[in-house]
A and B are shown apart, each in its own frame.
Chain A
Amino acid sequence: MNVHAGVPRAAPASGLAPELAGDLELREISKSFATVKALEAVSLFARPGELLAVTGPSGAGKSTLCRIIAGLEMPDHGVCRIAGKNVAAVPAGARRVAYMFESYALYPHLTVRQNVMSPLMAPNGRNSEAGGVDALLETLEIRHLAERLPAALSGGQKQRVALARTLVQKPAVTLLDEPISHLDAKLRHKLRNEIRRMVASRPSPTVWCTPDAMEALSVGDRIAVIEAGRIEQIGTPEQLWLQPASVRVARLVGDPPMNLLQGRVEFRDGGAHFMYGDLRVPLSASLAKAATLLGRDVSCVLGMRPNLVAVVPAGIPGAVAVELYSHEPFGKYAIVTARLGDMLIKAKTSGAVPAGIGATAGLILPASGFVLFDAASGNAVASDSVAARHPALEPEMP
């Protein structure tokens, strides 16, 4: 197949008409390579102007998802709809998908400007935005490189050329596969926002893939977390943070991510307690009620966010004795790691260092704000916090 970075070719009769715009929808998409299941019954949708971030560890299936939407792979099962049209019979070149590859795929013999303009030169290039190329290059801080060949660019510069070539188009779907991974922190911060603004006004949806869950949280109107080919959760940034659907989601979200303590729930004295070694954490009524559904004395995982945990000098009443494992000061806050049994618990605090490394310190856990997971499945059972709901960010599944 000869498809280059979303360059549209002449649209055959079955192609998407240029004026068509609308939702992207995947229904029960499965794909295997030999015996390896790359995607299993993946369903998701994205509305026009919406940015759906897709995150998960490397090998989770993010790129396969993109390739199926772009038409570079055919799913074994399931339906892909672009702007309401089932695209199973539409070849890649006629899908009007602007696809930024993780590997850039620049034309080596064309200058930066020619690479960026190349989609506009294609036979049906009139669908694309001819003006504004210079402004786009300026925003991406590569305008001064416009006449250079890709060979004379650094990795981060090439990435921005590929990004410009994708954003210059007016496609039915925009796919960005790790679009800013090779840029420095300052430029990433700027481009996260600039790209979001650009795609928000489009009549078509955008999918942004990244292994960095915090980047996904920052850019996504909604975020799909994918692991081992399955969707773990789709939700707003608030939902992922406050109500992770599983330990697999909780492990990815946050810097540092949620502490996950494996223990058991015991019911006594009229209440429910989470027990881990000598540690005994009283659970709220709602968590206790959910815990009863798990059965008596079953093992479970208690999740607690590092910003709700404190590590204090030893001997403070109410604190659990722990070993101070490590201390990382970040200026505005510090991450203190404490060892309790064979668990490492991280606290994100603004306080002073409570003790030296290896010394005894005290751990103070929050009174609420926990998430309870079933240890066997890893799925969330209940959460203390309720996500702030923003109807505009939560379109209903059509």
Chain B
Amino acid sequence: MASIRFDSVWKRYGSVTAVENLNLTCGEGEMLALLGPSGCGKSSTVKMAAGIEEVSAGEIFFGERPVSRLAPGARNIAMVFEDYALYPHLTVRENISFPLRIRGLPSSDVKARVDEVLDLLGLHPLADRGVKMLSGGAQQRISIGRALVRDPALILFDEPLSHLDADQKIHLRTEIKRLQKLRGVTSILVTHDQTEATAMADLIAVMNLGVLQQVATPHELYARPANTFVANFIGEPPMNLLPLRAHDGGLVLADAGWPLPLDGHRIKLAQGVRAAESMTAGIRPEHVTVERGARGPRQAIVRYCEPRGDVDVVVAAPLDHPGTTITAEVPGPAGYRAEDLVSIAFAAERIYMFAGADGRNLEVRP
């Protein structure tokens, strides 16, 4: 076990920069998620950690030890892949014991360590079954067992849930989080799915176009996103990002002209921005309230309502401004239907203020 640290790491492919000056640390026993859309540099980063790709500049440290010149086999890293990569002709027990056997451990040691992992994963009943006929979720648990049994310095989880059905995803993300915490194994999770990252990781590094946008705990990313990219990427459904304009000494939504309820603190933030710069308000759907009927200054027409069981997602367009939409998440089942007339309210203390030019959160200091 060790911490892992990326120190001014760059990755270039010819003239293309895949990773730009990355500085990032994952503490011992923690799980760090690399999160971002395709092409954000997360895969290049994890490949450099594994030694599959060379570092173009900078250094990677495991603890205090520089590893960027070490061969992949010398780094003591285990990987869990999206397609499980099990040996199809071996049993569950044989798959998990494989990394120990090739190292020539005495078979009594192998048995003790494999039994412990089988226990941890609840796989004992399946130990002597072939792996081919097992569900995807069970196969991925076996591949996690095979990683854990080696006591690696680091486990790299590369999109470990992406091939699973929804119910197995929900089950396995709970299991991975629990195992990682119980064993205290330093881990990096690569994913494009913010739900998975939020469910499993201690820290999330959000990347876009090769540049680290923010690294923080899941709660911090949700509560204090550094910029509009992070704000829009974390949270389902995504945050409403609404351009603002000045009107009558206050701020209104640029399109609909709706007044924005701002407290003294936010008014001060807005005043600190140069007059020439535009601003964007960020409001999470769960902080938008919806009421039936025409009341107050913010009236809208429901365009659609997505029932999701305990909550409903309501998308509404301001009256007379059908080009804009506001997304709200309300307790369900609420039973709104398209064309319903509703009134919208925003919680003043939950509004984020972003600079229009670079999208930075006006409250988060760089």
CB pair B333 A388 closer than 8 Å: yes
A251 CB–B CB distance under 8 Å: yes
Identify the stretch in B52-60, B110-118, B169-177 within 8 Å (CB) of chain A at 4 or more residues. Answer: B169-177
**Please, how many angstroms separate the alpha-carbon atoms of A337 and B181 in the complex?**
14
CB pair B284 A332 closer than 8 Å: yes
**Please, how many angstroms separate the alpha-carbon atoms of A372 and B310 in the complex?**
19
B366 CB–A CB distance under 8 Å: no
CB pair A214 B218 closer than 8 Å: no
Residue of A nearest to B334 (CB): A388
CB pair B308 A218 closer than 8 Å: yes
Residues of chain A contacted by B37 (CB below 8 angstroms) = 184
CB pair A330 B315 closer than 8 Å: no
Identify the stretch in B63-71, B229-237, B262-270, B275-283 within 8 Å (CB) of chain A at 4 or more residues. Answer: B229-237
Residues of chain B contacted by A282 (CB below 8 angstroms) = none
**B309 in complex: contacting residue of A200, A217, A332, A337, CB < 8 Å:** A217
CB of B124, distance to nearest CB on chain A (Å): 14
CB pair B310 A186 closer than 8 Å: no
Residues of chain B contacted by A390 (CB below 8 angstroms) = 335, 337
Residues of chain B contacted by A332 (CB below 8 angstroms) = 222, 235, 284, 286
**B306 in complex: contacting residue of A193, A306, A348, CB < 8 Å:** A193
CB of B323, distance to nearest CB on chain A (Å): 13
1/0 per residue, CB under 8 A from A, across B300-324: the answer is 0001101111100101000000000
Residue of A nearest to B335 (CB): A388
CB pair A213 B166 closer than 8 Å: yes
CB pair A335 B199 closer than 8 Å: yes
**Please, how many angstroms separate the alpha-carbon atoms of A184 and B195 in the complex?**
12
Residues of chain A contacted by B218 (CB below 8 angstroms) = 329-331
CB pair B222 A328 closer than 8 Å: no
CB pair A214 B178 closer than 8 Å: no
1/0 per residue, CB under 8 A from A, across B222-259: the answer is 11000000001011111000000000000000000000
B47 CB–A CB distance under 8 Å: no
CB of A184, distance to nearest CB on chain B (Å): 6
Residue of B nearest to A306 (CB): B310
Residues of chain B contacted by A186 (CB below 8 angstroms) = 232, 238
Residues of chain B contacted by A254 (CB below 8 angstroms) = 309-310
What range describes how many residues of A lie at the interface?
35 or more
B357 CB–A CB distance under 8 Å: no
CB of B363, distance to nearest CB on chain A (Å): 17
Interface residues of B in 169-222 (CB under 8 A from A): 170, 173-175, 177-178, 181-182, 192-195, 198-200, 218-219, 221-222
CB of A52, distance to nearest CB on chain B (Å): 15
CB pair B222 A331 closer than 8 Å: yes
Residues of chain A contacted by B236 (CB below 8 angstroms) = 185, 189
**Please, how many angstroms separate the alpha-carbon atoms of A331 and B204 in the complex?**
13
1/0 per residue, CB under 8 A from B, across A304-333: the answer is 011100000000000000000111111110
**A193 in complex: contacting residue of B181, B193, B304, B333, CB < 8 Å:** B304
B291 CB–A CB distance under 8 Å: no
**Please, how many angstroms separate the alpha-carbon atoms of A241 and B200 in the complex?**
27
CB pair B198 A330 closer than 8 Å: yes
CB pair A328 B309 closer than 8 Å: no
CB of B35, distance to nearest CB on chain A (Å): 12
CB pair B219 A257 closer than 8 Å: no
Residue of B nearest to A305 (CB): B310
Question: Contacts A237-B333, A388-B335; is A328 near B173 (CB within 8 Å)?
Answer: yes
CB pair B303 A197 closer than 8 Å: yes
**Please, how many angstroms separate the alpha-carbon atoms of A193 and B237 in the complex?**
12
Residues of chain A contacted by B337 (CB below 8 angstroms) = 390, 392
1/0 per residue, CB under 8 A from B, across A360-398: the answer is 000000000000000000000000000110101000000
B358 CB–A CB distance under 8 Å: no
CB pair B198 A328 closer than 8 Å: yes
Question: Contacts A58-B165, A252-B167, A357-B178; is A330 near B303 (CB within 8 Å)?
Answer: no
Secondary structure at the A interface, as helix, strand, loop or mixed, is mixed
CB of A347, distance to nearest CB on chain B (Å): 12
**Please, how many angstroms separate the alpha-carbon atoms of A207 and B232 in the complex?**
31
Interface centre among B166, B223, B304, B313 (most CB of A within 10 A): B166
**B308 in complex: contacting residue of A217, A330, A387, CB < 8 Å:** A217
CB pair A211 B166 closer than 8 Å: yes
1/0 per residue, CB under 8 A from B, across A292-307: the answer is 0000000000000111
**Please, how many angstroms separate the alpha-carbon atoms of A224 and B76 in the complex?**
49
Residue of B nearest to A214 (CB): B308
CB pair B307 A241 closer than 8 Å: yes
B347 CB–A CB distance under 8 Å: no
CB of A29, distance to nearest CB on chain B (Å): 25
CB of A62, distance to nearest CB on chain B (Å): 13
Residues of chain B contacted by A305 (CB below 8 angstroms) = 309-310
CB of B349, distance to nearest CB on chain A (Å): 15
Interface residues of A in 149-208 (CB under 8 A from B): 154, 184-186, 189, 192-193, 196-197, 200
**Please, how many angstroms separate the alpha-carbon atoms of A329 and B195 in the complex?**
10
**B178 in complex: contacting residue of A189, A237, A325, CB < 8 Å:** A325
CB of A47, distance to nearest CB on chain B (Å): 16
**Please, how many angstroms separate the alpha-carbon atoms of A245 and B38 in the complex?**
40
**Please, how many angstroms separate the alpha-carbon atoms of A275 and B188 in the complex?**
42
CB pair A189 B238 closer than 8 Å: yes
Residues of chain A contacted by B105 (CB below 8 angstroms) = none
**A211 in complex: contacting residue of B165, B175, B310, CB < 8 Å:** B165
Residues of chain A contacted by B194 (CB below 8 angstroms) = 185
CB pair B170 A257 closer than 8 Å: yes
CB pair A328 B174 closer than 8 Å: yes
CB of B235, distance to nearest CB on chain A (Å): 7
Question: Contacts A218-B313, A357-B181, A390-B337; is A255 near B303 (CB within 8 Å)?
Answer: no
Residue of A nearest to B315 (CB): A193
CB pair A328 B199 closer than 8 Å: yes
CB pair B170 A256 closer than 8 Å: yes
Residues of chain A contacted by B181 (CB below 8 angstroms) = 357
A358 CB–B CB distance under 8 Å: yes
**A257 in complex: contacting residue of B167, B192, B237, CB < 8 Å:** B167
Q: Can you offer 5 A-B residue contacts whose CB atoms are under 8 A?
A: A185-B194, A255-B170, A257-B170, A325-B174, A330-B195
By a beta-carbon cutoff of 8 Å, the part of chain B in contact with chain A is 37-38, 165-167, 170, 173-175, 177-178, 181-182, 192-195, 198-200, 218-219, 221-223, 232, 234-238, 284, 286, 303-304, 306-310, 313, 315, 332-333, 335, 337-338
The 10 closest A-B pairs by CB, nearest first: A331-B222, A237-B307, A218-B306, A328-B199, A238-B333, A307-B310, A326-B178, A241-B309, A326-B174, A254-B309
Q: A211-B166, A218-B307, A328-B177 are in contact. List 15 more A-B contacts (CB 8 A).
A: A185-B193, A185-B195, A186-B238, A189-B237, A193-B315, A197-B304, A217-B309, A218-B313, A219-B306, A237-B307, A241-B310, A255-B166, A256-B170, A325-B178, A330-B222
